[in-house]
Copies of this chain bind each other. A is one copy, B any other.
Amino acid sequence: MTQGQSDTDQPLVDAVSDVLSVDAMGGDQGPATVVAGLSKFLGKAPSARAILHGPEAELKMLLAKHNLADRVTIRDAADVVKMTDKPSHVLRHGKKTSMWSAIEAVREGSAAVCISCGNTGGLMAMSMLRLRKAEGVNRPAIACLWPSRNPSGFNVMLDAGADIRADQDDLLTYALMGASYARNGLDITRPRVGLLNVGTEEHKGRAELKVAHELIGKAAEKGEFTYVGFIEGGDLPSDKIDVIVTDGFTGNVALKTGEGTASLISELLRAALMKTPLSMFAALLARGSLNRLRKRIDPRRVNGGVFLGLNQTVIKSHGSADATGVAAALHLAHRLAQSGFSDKLAARVASAASLAQDAGQENETNGLNTNTGE
């Protein structure tokens, strides 16, 4: 709390779990949209505060406009990571950027979670450099939420594209991290985990998938999740599972394919209803129902890819997010911050190796469960 943005009468740990570090720059729609989203979020989260990173003069004006000066601290940062910057460039030349500053606030303990709309590759590279991978994690992953038939309305899928490769041990780590995220982000006590493959039969798929199938199955009991085995692409929106484990290449293609299919169907539905005067009248009558449907599958509601496997939590908001989308990412960040997610996850994955070995280390595991409170 070195910046003096918190009420020092409050206990320190509570204060930090209410502070989000927000990169104002790097989104397609500029800082005005980020501040508008922040305003929406703060309006519904009375205890929350933010540290906002970007050019001070511009941000000051935007905050004044939304009357947020007392709940948001500005940290001046002159540079911006561009959408086209390669990760290697960002690491070499990024120290004066708003993204770097936003990560730094989390690293030094001034805020609990970092949120940025900027370049994904740059954000991941910078986060890995400054926050470091958690013990036991070889490849961090990006977890996204997938609209589903679940009671919560969502499944968790990881990796959505942090790394294009994943071996059997990475897939096991993804299972543990995804289960922990489902518990803390979606309130699912005993998440059901599935491994994405081209068929549900045990003989199908790549060699590393068959080994991961064994490893995840063995880790389920101590990891406090249920392993449902191999699942297929058609199961992604199903209520058979809460967590979908896959490598970042497949996950990224699946995510974008799902989004592309949903957008094609919405477009065709709109065109179908605008075709005749009768169908236009019908659309008017069904407006309430269609709006509910639109809201149900609105990608802005599920905005926020969570970087898992670092020592702190970073959330990537869609580059094209509007104020509603930014607010959704901030709500997710706040929820994870308040649950103490970063520490719980770190404890989970640190034990991944021992879980996989299934080596009867009962005492250690019991101790872990008590510590994490998961």
Chain A positions within 8 Å of B, measured between CB atoms, are 86, 147-149, 161, 164-165, 196, 198, 203, 205-206, 232-238, 246, 248-250, 252-269, 272-273, 275-276, 278-279, 281-286, 288-290, 292-293, 296-297
Give this chain's copy count.
2
- A268-B293, A273-B289 provided; 7 other pairs, C-beta below 8 A? A165-B206, A233-B256, A236-B257, A237-B260, A250-B253, A272-B292, A283-B286
State in angstroms the CA–CA spacing of A297 and B252 once bound together: 24
Residue contacts A-B, CB under 8 angstroms, 17 given:
A149-B264, A198-B249, A198-B253, A233-B254, A233-B256, A234-B257, A237-B260, A253-B254, A254-B257, A261-B261, A265-B265, A269-B293, A279-B289, A281-B285, A282-B284, A282-B286, A286-B286
State in angstroms the CA–CA spacing of A252 and B261 once bound together: 15
Given the interface pairs A234-B256, A256-B234, the reply to whether A278 lies near B273 with Cβ below 8 Å is no
Nearest Cβ distance between residue A245 and chain B, in whole angstroms?
13
Given the interface pairs A288-B276, A289-B276, A293-B268, the reply to whether A235 lies near B260 with Cβ below 8 Å is yes
**Which of B237, B253, B285 touches A285 (beta carbons < 8 Å)?**
B285
Contacting pair A233 B262 (CB below 8 A)? no
Contacting pair A232 B203 (CB below 8 A)? no
Of chain B, the residue at the smallest CB distance from A293 is B272
Given the interface pairs A285-B285, A286-B278, A288-B279, the reply to whether A265 lies near B262 with Cβ below 8 Å is yes
Given the interface pairs A285-B278, A286-B286, the reply to whether A258 lies near B258 with Cβ below 8 Å is yes
Contacting pair B206 A249 (CB below 8 A)? yes
Contacting pair A286 B258 (CB below 8 A)? no
Residue among A246, A281, A282 with max Cβ neighbours from chain B (10 Å): A282
State in angstroms the CA–CA spacing of A7 and B165 once bound together: 57
Contacting pair A248 B198 (CB below 8 A)? yes
Contacting pair A161 B198 (CB below 8 A)? yes
Of chain B, the residue at the smallest CB distance from A276 is B289
State in angstroms the CA–CA spacing of A314 and B325 once bound together: 47
Nearest Cβ distance between residue A252 and chain B, in whole angstroms?
4
Of chain B, the residue at the smallest CB distance from A232 is B256
State in angstroms the CA–CA spacing of A297 and B267 once bound together: 12
Contacting pair A286 B279 (CB below 8 A)? yes
**Which of B165, B203, B249, B275 touches A250 (beta carbons < 8 Å)?**
B249
Using Cβ atoms and an 8 Å threshold, which residues of chain B touch A164?
198, 205-206
Given the interface pairs A149-B264, A237-B260, the reply to whether A269 lies near B272 with Cβ below 8 Å is no
Using Cβ atoms and an 8 Å threshold, which residues of chain B touch A286?
272-273, 278-279, 282-283, 286
Contacting pair A254 B252 (CB below 8 A)? no
Using Cβ atoms and an 8 Å threshold, which residues of chain B touch A282?
282-286, 289
